[in-house]
Amino acid sequence: MTLDRFVAEEVNPHNKVRKRSHARDLQLYKRIGPRFGHCSLMDIRRKDVQDFHNALVTEERLSPASADHHVTYMRRILNLAVQWEFIEKNVLTKIPLMKVDNKVERYLTEEETSRLIEVLQRDKAGGASNIFLFLLSTGARLNEAMSAKWEQMDLASEIWRVPASNSKSKRSRVVPLNESAVWVLNQLDTKGHHDFLFVNPATNRPFVTITRAWYRLRRKAGIENMRIHDLRHSYASFLANANCSLYEIQNILGHSDPRVTQRYAHLQHQTLKNAARAGSMIVRSKGSSAVA
């Protein structure tokens, strides 16, 4: 069986039911298929995949993290082939990745936030801008926002009930809707016409990917090296700078493990330092007056 046939007849039907990221997998296969789709499952070679992996970075100019996603998906495909007894072993087991440090967070500065919001409000990007504004207003994960439905929104109580099926932790959670988030929702024209909040006007269906729109808008706002997920980190920084506790940040962002929230502790420390510095300036100014 060829890889194309295995993915179309076995993997896609399976993942469509079980994986929230199935749409992302379809996007990844658009590069994988032309290179390996004609190969039988038993003819896929580890060296060929590593060459493909390198070419994604050197020739197609993908980021190392994006290149890793393609190889990781191929490895998952072959894992299923082993589980379902189409092949005896997965030649991509423990295949080395680029070892990108995904724990590095990028936060919007106050100036960058202003520029980005101005661009998003002027350039609608076919509706994608509203998603970015919503992420910046709620700290939600991209998948949660793109899967959000109107039935989950309680505007009277200003809360959003994220179902377990859309949550990374597999547990339902409640996200508070601040004035900014409510404003974004009021800009949408999908209420009463679609189940989903964010619908691509070109297809009249929920968005599948908005990465290209993000790159264009980010560049237009003069912001470099920022991922869509960093909007979530930036929202957390807003909370930390507003003196919210780590416990509050954990619950708003829906972290199942408090250790994940600890990454924002340094932001709280900086806020305390700034407050202490302000106190120092007051004492110094009073002291100068007394001397005078």
Q: Report the pLDDT value the prediction gives residue 256, as an integer from 0 to 100.
A: 73
Nearest Cα residue to 146 out of 99, 190, 97 = 190
Please tell me the distance from the alpha carbon of residue 245 to that of residue 148, in angstroms, as a whole number: 27
Domain boundaries, the chain: 3-83, 110-233
Question: Could you say which residues of the chain have pLDDT below 70?
Answer: 100-104, 168-169, 266-292
Q: Which alpha helices (DSSP H) does the chain contain, by range?
A: 3-6, 12-18, 22-36, 46-58, 64-83, 110-122, 128-138, 142-146, 179-187, 211-220, 230-241, 246-253, 258-261, 265-291
Please tell me the distance from the alpha carbon of residue 247 to that of residue 94, in angstroms, as a whole number: 37
Q: Report the pLDDT value the prediction gives residue 270, as an integer from 0 to 100.
A: 60
Q: Report the pLDDT value the prediction gives residue 292, as an integer from 0 to 100.
A: 46
pTM reported for the whole predicted model: 0.62
Neighbouring C-beta atoms of residue 155, cutoff 10 Å: 14
Q: Report the pLDDT value the prediction gives residue 224, as an integer from 0 to 100.
A: 86
Q: Report the pLDDT value the prediction gives residue 277, as an integer from 0 to 100.
A: 57
Please tell me the distance from the alpha carbon of residue 142 to that of residue 208, in angstroms, as a whole number: 11
For helices 211-220 and 128-138, the axis angle rounded to 10 degrees is: 80
User: pLDDT for 69-104, tens place per residue?
Assistant: 999 999 999 999 999 999 999 999 999 998 765 556
CATH 1.20.1050.10 for domain 110-233, yes or no, is: no
